[in-house]
Structure 1
Amino acid sequence: MEKKNESLSMDFILLGLFPGMRHVNLLISAILLIYTVALTANSILILLIWVDSHLHTPMYFLLSQLALMDLTLISSTVPKMTTDFFSGRKNISRVACGTQIFFFLTLGIAECILITLMSYDRYVAICNPLRYSLIMSHRVCLQMAFISWAGGTLTSMVHTAYALHFPICGSREIAHFLCEVMAILKLVCEDISAYEKAVVMTSIIVLLIPLSFILSSYALIFRAVLHMNSPEIRNKALATCSSHLTVVSLYFGPAMLVYMRPSSYHSPKLDQVLFMLGAILTPMMNPLIYSLRNKEVVGALKKILGRFLTSN
């Protein structure tokens, strides 16, 4: 009992980004630049969707939710990591560690659910356009957002509470720049094979099943696009879908490599690279992918900038 109480009270030690790497300060500077771009781009995208009435459609509402999730996701990792680097502090309390795990899992799972629902939105828009406004009503969009946030929150609560209830033996050093479930499990001194199977099952539910729905939706979409007579409509549909599929690969690729590999194949360096791709680079790329190739978003940005310059 005393040993268990001690493991619950002691802090963890985050070893940080690539321990022992030379010129890590350059990498931290690049990450801070990425963080600034991600905050700016996602905030601008949310503002444009909120201000411009032409963007008050189901697709852009869901996109604004994705941008909000990206903002929160990258903010749950980068500030703590950079603060630890510049201050030289590496410890993190068990409560703070659990909080970071909770937010990271909540947002990651919520984004997977939301991206799946966004593919359904594109399927209805392209394959059943006459009933689009009826099927994708404002109420349905709100329900989609709620399902995404609630699904991520509930799943994350279970995994966070269960992962942190295990007693920690020996070293409390986490070979990572954030508190993360798989890294915490390496410090556990009990048999966790049953829980590792539960993680794999959750990954199948959260990753593989949604991915199969997404690929099925886009197979039907591409079949419908090939039968379109208008080249302009066909190109617009393909541009929107290609942007969405790019985002799908950025989310699901790293997540599947992290959570669906056997624990024996995990290495700290590879895991950090994958987490940098999924939790830092992707939140910056999403608004750029959706905005730069989207004439409506670019048009809304030009309109807002025009009004601002005219007023000055």
Structure 2
Amino acid sequence: MKIGLRDIEPNIARRIREMLDYMRTMEFQDHHHTHTPERDVLLAARTVLQRTDLPPVLVRFTFSVGVGFLTLLLVAGGINSGTIPGPMVIAAPLLGGLTYWHAWRVNKQERADDLDRSMTSEEVRAACSVINATPSETSYFESISLLLEIGTQLDTQTGKDILSELNVLIAQARQLQVHRDNLRAAINAESADALFAQREDLRTKLSRIADEAARRAMEQSIDLLETRCQAAQTLQPSLERVEAQQEVILQTLVSVQSSLARMKVAPAALTAPDIAVIQSSISEVTGQTQAVEQAVQEVMSVRSG
């Protein structure tokens, strides 16, 4: 089966395209940057994702210089004959530069189109290495790589069905992360327990204060913190459900990855029960995630109301 950027989860595909655009400029930056481990990863991924330039950099450069030199000869002849004004000599380097830029842009677009249509497992893993993938996304990428490597063991439609459900799963993982961030922002602490500990600390300080004005100020602080604690008590269960469901999604993705890895080394082709287990597992988690999202939205809407 073929899997390209157009087939994978849209948000991830967008991030890969952005990195492809960035990596295309790295050949102009190499002499400005020292080689850090992070940059070495990018360079290694660039080698895989760009494949062989068509035309290669050397060919583009040689052709551009040739165009510029030919233009220079023609312009020089025109200047000598009086038919072309002298300042037109600048046309030679300009045309040479434009020729190189045009070849670079065309090659860049052709490469992006290639990856849009299909990717190899090596290219999928290289893409994963450059987008700061989360653990869930890393497992997602590895499952895609394995789907490509399984090849003839998997009929095309079944592979597409599994990929489609993986796309849904990774999109839900991202949405849960948004809910988690929103809940943490609403709680305004790492957890409700952290707020409770802070409240007890303030109460301990209050017990040691003798000055009446200072006590009133501290009591006001405790009252404000108490309001936050009450909000946290309301939101903490939702936060825990979201974090638990995130872990369920991660483990489901890892489980699918493990199943595909076993199928890769299995001597026989995939059987219907094998596929059914994967699809059933993903569908079950999808239903659970939707229920968690709905519950969180209800809690947040009640709180905002």
TM-score (norm 1): 0.34
Higher RCO structure, 1 or 2 (CA under 8 Å, sep 6+):
1
**Structure of greater Rg:** 2
